[in-house]
Amino acid sequence: MTIDPILLLEIVLTIIMIISAIIAVETKHLVAALAMLGLVSLQASVYFLILQAPDVAMTEASIGAGLSVGIFAYAFWKTGETEEKLENLEEMDKGVLIK
């Protein structure tokens, strides 16, 4: 029994994509979330290449993994959004600060 290498690559890509997407949502560290977002885009661009859409793969790699990560980083620095603020927000969510 032989395994198609493309199929194997697809399975590995899908698993990594799902894991990094979950990390991007769940992590408290914003820069790590950003890196995971770029990773998802990179995997998606490889996926598009496997599906024989090189145009879309190129766009996804340059926009999703390249430029949007930079723009997000600038936006984070601009708003001064940090981990501590996010934790404060969580506490506010639980009603600690509203008392």
Partner 1 sequence: MIIRRIFAALFAIFFFISAYVLIADIGFGNNKMDDLVGKYYIENTIKDTTALNVVSTVVVNYRGLDTLGEVTVLFVASVSVGVLMARFKGSKLWNVSTTPIHITAGRILFPLIWIFGAYIFVHRHLTPGGWFPGGAVIASGVLLLMLAFKDYLPSSKLITFSESISGSLYVLVGLIGLAIGGYFLYDFVYRTYGIGTIGTLISGGFIPIVYTIIGVKDGVELSGILHHLSRDDTE
Binding site for partner 1 (CB under 8 A): 54-55, 58-59, 61-63, 66-67, 70-71, 74-75, 77-78, 93
Specify whether the CB–CB gap between 40 and 20 falls below 8 A.
yes
Alpha helices in the chain (DSSP H): 5-26, 30-50, 54-59, 68-79, 83-94
Of 12 and 97, nearer to partner 1 (C-beta) is: 97
Give me the least distance between CB of 92 and partner 1, in Å please: 13
Of 16 and 63, nearer to partner 1 (C-beta) is: 63
Give me the least distance between CB of 75 and partner 1, in Å please: 7
Query: CB-based burial of residue 93 (10 Å sphere; 0-12 exposed, 13-18 middle, 19+ buried)?
Result: exposed
Give me the least distance between CB of 86 and partner 1, in Å please: 15
Of 59 and 88, nearer to partner 1 (C-beta) is: 59
Measured CA to CA, the distance from residue 75 to residue 69 in angstroms comes to 10
